[in-house]
A and B are shown apart, each in its own frame.
Chain A
Amino acid sequence: MSDKEFPPPVKYLDDRLGIAKIGRKNLRKVFPDHWSFMLGEIALYSFIILILTGIFLTFWFKPSMGEVEYQGSYSLLKGLHMSEAYASTLDITFDVRGGLLMRQIHHWAAVLFIAAMMVHLLRIFFTGAFRKPRELNWVIGFTMLFLGIIEGFIGYGLPDDLLSGTGLRITQGMIGASPVIGTYLNFFIFGGEFPGDDFVSRFFTIHVLLIPGLILALVTVHLFLVVYHKHTQYAGPGRTAKNVVGYPLFPVYTAKAGGFFFVVFGITALMGALLQINPVWLYGPYNPAEVTAGSQPDWYMGWLEGSVRIMPGFESHFWGITLSWNLIIPALLIPPAFVTLVALYPFIEGWITGDKREHHLLDRPRNMPTRTGIGAAFITFYALLWIGGGNDLIATHFGLSLNNVTWFLRFAVFIGPVLAFWVVRRVAISLQRADNDRLMHGLETGVIVRSPEGKYTEKHAPISNYEAYSLTAHDRMLPLDIGPETDDNGVRAPRRALNKLRARLSRFYYADAIQKPTTHELEAAHEHAHDSDEIHDISETETYREVTSDRS
């Protein structure tokens, strides 16, 4: 039945490339199915959309700060002096058919690209998909997020309108606060004083060549590693650490993932057609002496903006130098520290737990309460800074005092994450308890039975074997044991202090987590239930519907 020979064009390729060898392994490669696995896909597809629409824009955009007098069809700015960059952006918007559409799709896709990467990162974090052997892929993914944010910000600066120029002025001010090298960095980046006439052409090259090239290379490695490691899967019946259960790449995922690309492209195109974004023609050309009230960067810069906004104004002057703590701390220390912590998280957690095994089964967030709490703390910190980036809008929209909003946030960024950690961790632990209840006592049926002695009990139905297995298919977590202080010969173990710290962290990491029941406990619970008539299969006549009708 199977063909021994390829059709001629495929044979031509196989003779030269050996495609059968590669295809044999991968054509029917299995991918597991879950909605949360499409987040990374959205990021990938928006990146492709960005490249396609970006190429279109480069055909008309003039990356030059040379001054011209605008003579295009937007009458409100006619005759104004502006840079060629801004004038050509107006031309794309008003004189190139489909130009505004492409600009808006490009901007929406950029916003979506970064949002999808972030949510994808959160999915990976909360399910523990970053654990061995995927730590390096986490770092690669993180690097892409970092590059994506820079790429987005630089792209935002290219049209040279009033808003983008203000954003650059702020960045320039932050760079200038770097001790020792700040002023020099600025003069080299901007070709002298701000604004100068160099940055648009320089940023353009970085925006269309350097960073996209890097991201493209990293995407390739990222996807190669996904194929090599094979996709992680959620625990469930038949799903083990040694297999991957799902649908084949060809044809199911070819159709699903390929189709999903068009869905994402379609939605961004509709957004580009119907939802206005960054109307640069309203802002006018950049003028270093003007600014609009309520200036806002794109959403992903909001947390940096907030960090800078809520910092009190401290500055030191000594020995003829100035140290601007009001910028060094919120712009040059906290954000890098935050992102470094995120980038290194897999290694930190791996060290604390001492877990060196490969993991291919995903954690349910509740089963790792401390990690989930840490994630919540990070999100809260980020979100509070992000809110800080709009403190003026919050004040005006809700009729609050700007100063009070700012003061609230100054404290909240410290207290909020701690609270979030504690609350979320406790919630996760409660959910673990609920799982154990479900396992040991079954499902509450709502059927209340009165015994001859007059005792009321609720009948419990056992959960299915498949569900019971899914609920228990995770590791039993115990803190790291660092062994005795001294060995049999009385020799002290090496690096004792470090290991003690590690053991303490590990105890903290697993403290209070609920262990799944043992075989024995489970049997005992079921035994007890049968004795006390607690667990019951619902009989033919006892349905959930009857219960409700009984009550009414």
Chain B
Amino acid sequence: MSDENLPAVKADEEHSQVQVAEPIPDPGIEPHEYRITDIDPKAADRVERQVSAMFTLAGLLALGSCVAYFAIPRDSTIAFGPLSGNANNMIIGLCIGLALFLLGAGAIQWAKKLMVDEEISEDRHPAHSSPEQIADISDAFKQGVAESGFTRRKLIRRGLFTGLGLLGLPAIVLLRDLGPLPGRALFNTIWAKGIRVVNDVTDRPIKPSDMIVGQLVNAAPANLAPLQEESPVEYQNAKAKAAVIVVRIKPSEIRTPPGRENWGVDGILCYSKICTHVGCPISLYEQTTHHVLCPCHQSTFDLADGAKVVFGPAARPLPQLPLAVDAEGYLVAQSGFTEPVGPSFFERG
């Protein structure tokens, strides 16, 4: 066994271990103990039968999975307490899973019980190269460098680095068309003056009299639904920003932030549904407290108090949409949102 490099007694002045004579000398590998299968041929034969049975059963189960594939209708189900589901799926999976498991268990049993289990020792070698190898390779490298003239010919070197370096640019520039520039996209929604507020399931416009105190309706702008036919992408993108909640609160319980005195209609207020934290649609409303909770990170907003944050990681109130009633008595927007909806972003201001 060579001593080169392996944990040295004192590698250099920096290392901190102090070598004191070991209190117990190494007694060497423990003597090998025989297993029952090493001594008793009957026990060994028994294990052989076990292993062979596991392998054979694995094969049969593999066949079984093929039979199940064709024999079990794909829409049949198994209902057995928590183990319920599609029968085809479950039986195929059971057969394949057990087959794989038995194949593996058999191999391991074979290794543990029948294969020679005498521990053997192998020498380690240092990870680093020998001084001769290091000398050889550095000579070869120096020779290569000298033959190429890489260190002497500065002009070539500079040219090479410039060329290689600048080639990184197209690699980045070519990705430019991954997406459009943001522009003002995040500042606008499709809400605008006079757009009706419609129920987001039925698409029906809402009259103030439709809403009772304590009710919350998920709503959308009336101009959203037609977008779906035109362009499903535009529809989804517009919806991701324009979704709102309309809520009716007893006017006496409302604390109106300054400047929003005429943004509600008879205690009906409209807020963006998109959480100002990371943009989940907020959805859990508690009537008695007027709190609405975002199920993603539990930011809680008080709808009776300008939707300001009462708990959680969100930093800003939900933007409010100023409401009015149109000539036919339906709820409409007085204008678009006066601030960007959804999560914060750097340019938001």
Q: Which residues of A contact B (CB under 8 A)?
A: 28-30, 65, 67, 73, 81, 94-95, 97-98, 100-101, 104-105, 133, 166, 169-170, 172-174, 176-184, 186-198, 228-230, 237-248, 251-253, 255-256, 258-274, 276, 287-295, 305, 308-315, 317, 320-327, 330, 353-360, 391-392, 402-403, 406, 439, 465-466, 468-469, 472-473, 475-481, 483, 506, 510, 516-519, 521-522
**Residues of B bordering A, CB below 8 Å:** 1, 3, 5-8, 11-30, 69, 74-75, 83, 85-86, 88-94, 96-108, 110-112, 115-117, 119-124, 126-128, 175, 178-182, 185-186, 200, 218, 220, 228, 232-233, 236-237, 239-241, 243, 273, 277-281, 283-284, 295-299, 309, 311-316, 342-349
Set B20, B124, B237: member contacting A241, Cβ < 8 A: B124
Q: Is B121 in contact with A321, judged by CB distance below 8 angstroms?
A: no
Residues in B whose Cβ lies below 8 Å from that of A189: 178-179
CB-CB under 8 A from B182, the residues of chain A are: 183-184, 186-187
Cross-chain contact of B124 among A166, A190, A243 (Cβ < 8 A): A243
What are the 10 tightest A-B residue pairs by CB atom distance, in nearest-first order? A273-B93, A173-B278, A266-B101, A259-B107, A262-B104, A238-B29, A269-B97, A266-B100, A315-B315, A288-B240
- A32→B197 CA distance, assembly (Å): 71
Is there contact, CB below 8 Å, between A311 and B281? Answer: no
Bound state CA distance, A184 and B176, in angstroms? 10
Q: Complex: how many Å from CA A465 to CA B96?
A: 49
How far is A288 from B112 in the complex, measured between Cα atoms in Å? 56
Known A-B contacts: A237-B26, A355-B15. Give 20 more (CB < 8 A).
A98-B89, A166-B296, A169-B279, A176-B345, A179-B346, A183-B186, A187-B179, A228-B127, A230-B124, A237-B30, A238-B28, A247-B117, A263-B100, A288-B281, A324-B344, A327-B343, A358-B5, A469-B24, A483-B13, A518-B20
Partner of B110, one of A95, A255, A406: A255
Quick check: B23 and A519 within 8 Å, CB to CB?
A: yes
- B24 and A183: CB pair below 8 A? no
A98, A238, A247, A263: which contacts B105 (Cβ < 8 A)? A263
Supply 25 A–B pairs (Cβ within 8 Å), ascending by A: A98-B69, A101-B96, A170-B280, A173-B279, A177-B344, A189-B178, A189-B179, A237-B27, A237-B29, A238-B28, A243-B124, A244-B121, A266-B97, A269-B96, A273-B92, A274-B94, A288-B243, A288-B281, A326-B315, A353-B16, A403-B311, A483-B13, A506-B16, A517-B23, A519-B22
Chain B's closest residue to A259 (CB) is B107
| Among A292, A314, A392: residue with most chain B CB under 10 A | A392
- Complex CA–CA separation, A234 to B198 (angstroms): 70
In the complex, the answer to whether B27 meets A259 with C-beta atoms within 8 Å is no
Nearest B residue to A242 via CB reads B6
Residues of A within 8 A of B28 (CB): 237-238
A70 to chain B, nearest CB (A): 14
| Residue contact B278 to A174, C-beta cutoff 8 Å | yes
By the criterion CB–CB under 8 Å, are B97 and A313 in contact? no
Separation in Å of the B296 CB from the closest CB of chain A? 6
Q: Are the CB atoms of B120 and A308 closer together than 8 Å?
A: no
Q: Cβ of A101: which chain B residues have Cβ within 8 Å of it?
A: 89, 92-93, 96
Whether the pair A176, B349 counts as a contact (CB closer than 8 A) is no
Q: What is the chain B residue whose CB lies nearest that of A312?
A: B313
Least Cβ–Cβ distance between B91 and chain A, in angstroms: 8
User: A274, B83: Cβ atoms under 8 Å?
Assistant: yes
| Contact among A133, A170, A244, A274 for B278, CB-based, below 8 A | A170
Q: What's the minimum C-beta distance from B300 to chain A, rounded to whole angstroms?
A: 8
CB atoms of B346 and A321 under 8 A apart = yes
Complex Cα–Cα for A322 and B168 (A):
32
A322 to B345, CA, bound (A): 6
User: Is the pair A67, B115 in contact by a Cβ cutoff of 8 Å?
Assistant: no
Q: List chain A residues, Cβ under 8 A from B110.
A: 255, 259
**Is the CB–CB distance between A195 and B23 below 8 Å?**
no
A contact residues around B96 at 8 Å (CB): 101, 269, 273
Chain A residues whose C-beta falls within 8 Å of the C-beta of B348 in the assembled complex: 321-322
Please state if B120 and A354 are interface contacts (CB–CB under 8 Å). no
The reply to whether B175 and A256 contact each other, CB–CB distance below 8 Å, is: no
Instruction: Collect the chain A residues with CB atoms within 8 Å of residue B241's CB.
Output: 193
Contact residues in A for B297 (Cβ distance below 8 Å):
170, 305, 308-309
Residues of A within 8 A of B22 (CB): 472-473, 519
A273 surroundings in chain B (CB, below 8 A): 89-94, 96-97
Residues of B within 8 A of A244 (CB): 121-122, 124
A173 near B283: Cβ-Cβ < 8 Å:
no
* Cα(A519)–Cα(B281), bound, Å: 70
Q: How far is the CB of A158 from chain B (nearest CB, A)?
A: 17
Tell me the complex Cα distance, A196–B27, Å: 69
Assembled-state Cα–Cα distance A271/B89 (Å):
12
A245-B120 contact in complex given A183-B347, A475-B17, C-beta closer than 8 Å: yes
Q: Is the CB of A241 within 8 A of B121?
A: no
Residues in B with CB closer than 8 Å to A272 are 93, 97
Separation of A271 and B102 alpha carbons in the complex (Å): 15
A288 CA to B237 CA in the complex, in Å? 8
Instruction: Indicate which residue in B8, B117, B277, B280 contacts A313 across the interface (CB closer than 8 Å).
Output: B277
Cα A194 to Cα B280 with chains together (Å):
12
A465: which B residues are within 8 A, CB to CB? Answer: 24, 27
Contacts of B102 in A (CB 8 A): 266
Given A288-B243, A322-B345, A241:B283 Cβ within 8 A: no
Given A187-B182, A190-B179, A293-B283, decide whether A252 and B117 contact each other with a Cβ distance below 8 A.
Answer: yes
How far apart are the CA atoms of A274 and B91 in the complex, in Å?
9
A191 proximity list for chain B (CB < 8 A): 178-179
* Residues of chain A contacted by B90 (CB below 8 angstroms): 273-274
- Cα(A186)–Cα(B80), bound, Å: 46
Find out whether the CB atom of A289 lies under 8 angstroms from the CB atom of B240.
yes
Which A residues are in CB contact (< 8 Å) with B8? 357
Separation of A28 and B179 alpha carbons in the complex (Å)? 55
Residue of B nearest to A480 (CB): B16
The listed residue (A67, A309, A518) touching B313 by CB distance below 8 A is A309
B344 with A315: CB separation less than 8 A: yes
Residues of A within 8 A of B25 (CB): 469
Contact B74 A95 (CB under 8 A): yes
Give the distance in Å from the alpha carbon of A310 to the alpha carbon of B15 in the complex.
43
Kindly report which residue of chain B lies nearest to residue A100, judged by CB atoms: B89
A314 and chain B: residue at smallest CB distance = B315
- Residues of chain B within 8 A (CB-CB) of A245 are 29, 119-122
Whether B100 and A247, one on each chain, are in contact in the complex, defined by CB atoms closer than 8 angstroms, is no
Chain A hits for B121, CB < 8 A = 30, 238, 243-245
B243 nearest CB neighbor, chain A only: A289
Which B residue sits closest to A190, measured CB to CB?
B179
Q: A229-B127, A243-B124, A314-B315 are in contact. Are A194 and B181 (CB under 8 A)?
A: no
| Residue among B23, B102, B237 with most chain A CB within 10 A | B23
